[in-house]
Amino acid sequence: MCLAIPVRVEALTDNDNALVDIGGVKKEISVALVEDVQVGDFVIMHVGYALNKVDPEEAEKTLALFAELGAAE
């Protein structure tokens, strides 16, 4: 039950909720626990709640690090 996934915020709706895209499926979740969520943000979703935002720059850096490891061979 701890499995949680990054989802994209498609629209902000009433009561601190948001419509998100989960690999093509739309779902309404709560974004009440996260400060300043905007359309286009990726958030980590868990039991119907966003827990935090994904930082796109840091995500790129981690991927670059993996790729570097590969290139060093």
Give me the residues that bind other proteins (CB under 8 A), please: 1-6, 8, 22-23, 30, 32-35, 42, 44, 46-49, 51-56, 58-59, 61-63, 65-67, 69-70, 73
Distance in angstroms (rounded) separating the CA atoms of residues 51 and 61: 22
Residue with tokens 């902000």: 12
- The least distance separating other proteins from the CB of residue 61, rounded to whole angstroms, comes to 7
Of 1, 37, 5, nearest to 21 by C-alpha is 5
CB of 13 or CB of 52, closer to other proteins: 52
Q: Is the dihedral of CA 56, 35, 41, 51 positive or negative?
A: positive
CB of 12 or CB of 65, closer to other proteins: 65
